[in-house]
Structure 1
Amino acid sequence: MKDEKLWFDHPQDSVEITTVRQRTEDVLEQAITLPFWSQDYTQLDKGRFSGMITSVASKGVQLFREAMNRSVDELASAPQNSYVIGLPTIIEGKSLWRGGQLSKNTLITLDKNAELLFRTAHSSEITAAVISEQRLEDYAANVEQIDIYDLMKKVNPVEVIPHAVKSRLLSALFIGTEHLSKNLNDSMDHHQVWRHVEDSVLDSCLQALMAASENHNRHNEHRVHRHIVNCVRDITLSRHCEALTIGDLCTTLRVSRRTLNHAFKQVLGITPVAYMRNVRLHRIRAELKFSPKQVTSIANVATRWGFWHMSLFSRYYRELFGESSSMTLELARGQ
């Protein structure tokens, strides 16, 4: 169940805290559950999806935890003019955050107004803070006397940090997301509690950034590979009625078949053909779930997205989402 709560304390200095705790059973639902974000998810693994979102937000700071049981390709935008600083807490399989491979003791960051390109592991969980530029820049200048803009230029999207620094940041994020979201009903001084949590998170994030800034690796090769993947996505969506071939993609992008396949292997771990098929299947699922009254025939929707063999379409759909397309439509019409 989705649960949003607002609390106001100290009329002279009120604080509003919004919490969300929701389990999901659909990748499209997962993409829209995290407050304040704009996200587009493409499920890569076959099978029924299960996810969890926990979010606590107040006064320009959001703390969230997101878990999923399937590998997903995420294209996302954080709230405008905000920094994202966090940790992967579960990684089962290969996972790439803006080109950097996640592992134990890695810090993940997203600069303000940058697009997030994130391929999650087969089973994954991340815990992160989203902090408005004004809050983080003021805190960095006033408390540590450093320029956050200059600091962020020295930090890659994925950096290895000392275990002690990671543990401190994880503790601060855990208290914010888990303890606070579960205990707002208790008779506590929410204003003071949030001030304490916020200060701990800001301090821990800043210490993690300073530790990460001592590393100097860059990720230029992945940027090229990710650009190829993004171009294939754009072509798939703009020419969705066409039976695109690998040759068509290579000609349009002016890359070799080997380069194309290598890019997809490095970024997503699947073939270009499988990725194009998954992107189209997600668009079909979105129409069935969110516009069921406009669907006169599943076959018509599938054909519009480039599937002409209904038996193959049905098999691909069931394998990817763990249910038939007719069940998706039936459930949507029953809501």
Structure 2
Amino acid sequence: MDIPRIIHSNNKVRGMSTSDIDELAQFQVNKNRRYTQLYAGQLEGDYLEINLGKLQVFREKLNVGALIEATPASNFIPFAALLSNRDDSNFCGKHIEQNAILQATGGDWDVNFKDHLNVIAAVFDRDTFAHDIHLLTGEEIPNDWLISKACLTDPLALTQYATGVNNIINVIQAKSEVIKTENSLRMINDTILRLAYNVLKVTTPCTEKRVNQSKRCEGVRQVMDYLHSYGESVPTIPELCKIAKLSERNLQYGFKEYLGVTPVRYLRLLRLNGVRRDLLMNQSAKNKVVDVALNWGFIELGRFASEYRQLFQELPSTTLRKAN
């Protein structure tokens, strides 16, 4: 029997490559998984999970047809997207249609497939997820989100969710130090929350009331004043909704009316300005561009450098050389 190869990068990143299907189940702590190989082939399984505080993301690959059954703990709320072919796959006894998000949120669930599996998922802490959705919408989580089933959603939102979470996994796998700073963790959690919300709000919309313009403008000013004093803490969008006393949609309307940009774009511009300010103030030459960028919550460093250059018409390394 092949010996499974287990990789422990640190206490936040765990991975396994194995040909032993039972080892794969045992490796996934508190998920109560059971695997049964259904079709012929020499099994190869790959599993990678990244723990981000109250949120976990994972990617799992199997090269032969199998049945996976699970009874996750009640405090877990997983939402999964298939990167592999859906034509031969069933979830909770029903065929998985194109553009479907898998809600493994209602206790027992199972998935079976004939060929291979490639899936990514975000697993939220139930209480934290409910709290953040309330901040974003002003409403409670729809009960329909808490039922294990495959739900049709907007194709673009689903693609953005699948590729967004997968890209975050790839970035952290390649460079685990990006999650060592609190601000980077907060930005990653916020990004994944909003990617998931954009998928789910299509399946069962939350009811949101549109408030009047004066209240929206008042909320925007409160957010701007807060960011002027505490922007270096890199607040998340749910936190800004709480400060403004507005749902995300109303906050977005307000920012578009007041500044012509979304709150997400404004926060990103604020963070880029924060990086530039810190680079220019760097008198000791001890800090590197990457350190400053991570401190402001940027983990995709190539994209960061491109956006920085577009905004300020120079590379961040050029700014740093000016300071020194």
- After TM superposition, the score normalised by the length of structure 1 is 0.55
| Equivalent residue in structure 2 for 1:184, among 168, 176, 185 | 176
Instruction: State the match for 2:58 in structure 1.
Output: 64
Displacement of 1:93 in angstroms is 5.1
The 3-state SS of whatever aligns with 1:147 is coil
Displacement of 1:201 in angstroms is 0.8
The 3-state SS of whatever aligns with 1:55 is strand
Q: Does the alignment pair 1:147 with 2:140?
A: yes
Displacement of 1:100 in angstroms is 2.8
Residue type of the partner of 2:8?
E
Summarize the Cα distance change of 1:106–1:134 in structure 2 as closer, same or farther, 3 Å threshold.
same
Displacement of 1:206 in angstroms is 1.4
Q: How does 1:132-211 map to 2 (within 5 A)?
A: 132-152=125-145, 157-185=149-177, 189-211=180-202
CA distance in 2: counterparts of 1:38 and 1:148, whole angstroms: 25
CA distance in 1: counterparts of 2:88 and 2:135, whole angstroms: 39
Query: Residue by residue, what CA displacement relative to the aligned partner does 1:141-188 show, whole Å, maximum 9, x if unpaired?
Result: 0112221143526x66112222210122113311332211221146x7
Displacement of 1:189 in angstroms is 4.8
Q: Does the alignment pair 1:212 with 2:203?
A: yes
Alpha carbons 2:77, 2:126 under 8 Å: kept: yes
Alpha carbons 1:2, 1:22 under 8 Å: kept: yes
Query: Residue by residue, what CA displacement relative to the aligned partner does 1:221-262 show, whole Å, maximum 9, x if unpaired?
Result: xxxxxxxxxxxxxxxxxxxxxxxxxxxxxxxxxxxxxxxxxx
| Equivalent residue in structure 1 for 2:110, among 111, 117, 120 | 117
Summarize the Cα distance change of 1:60–1:101 in structure 2 as closer, same or farther, 3 Å threshold.
same
Residue type of the partner of 1:78?
P
Alpha carbons 1:107, 1:161 under 8 Å: kept: yes
Instruction: State the match for 1:39 in structure 2.
Output: 33
Q: Does the alignment pair 1:2 with 2:6?
A: yes
Displacement of 1:54 in angstroms is 1.1
Query: Residue by residue, what CA displacement relative to the aligned partner does 1:30-66 show, whole Å, maximum 9, x if unpaired?
Result: 2222343111111101121011101001322110111
- After TM superposition, the score normalised by the length of structure 2 is 0.57
CA distance in 2: counterparts of 1:30 and 1:180, whole angstroms: 21
Instruction: State the match for 2:99 in structure 1.
Output: 105
Residue type of the partner of 1:60?
K
CA distance in 2: counterparts of 1:81 and 1:191, whole angstroms: 23
- Ranked by relative contact order (alpha carbons within 8 Å, sequence separation 6 or more), the top structure is 1
RMSD: 2.1
Residue type of the partner of 1:160?
L
CA distance in 1: counterparts of 2:123 and 2:148, whole angstroms: 17
Summarize the Cα distance change of 1:86–1:100 in structure 2 as closer, same or farther, 3 Å threshold.
same
CA distance in 2: counterparts of 1:37 and 1:131, whole angstroms: 13
The 3-state SS of whatever aligns with 1:178 is helix
CA distance in 1: counterparts of 2:148 and 2:23, whole angstroms: 30
Displacement of 1:199 in angstroms is 0.5
Q: Does the alignment pair 1:75 with 2:69?
A: yes
The 3-state SS of whatever aligns with 1:3 is strand
Summarize the Cα distance change of 1:176–1:80 in structure 2 as closer, same or farther, 3 Å threshold.
farther
Displacement of 1:134 in angstroms is 0.8
**Sequence identity (%):** 14
Q: How many correspondences in the alignment?
A: 201
CA distance in 2: counterparts of 1:176 and 1:34, whole angstroms: 20
Displacement of 1:70 in angstroms is 1.2
Residue type of the partner of 1:169?
Y
CA distance in 2: counterparts of 1:98 and 1:67, whole angstroms: 19
CA distance in 1: counterparts of 2:200 and 2:114, whole angstroms: 24
Alpha carbons 1:85, 1:110 under 8 Å: kept: yes
The 3-state SS of whatever aligns with 2:127 is helix
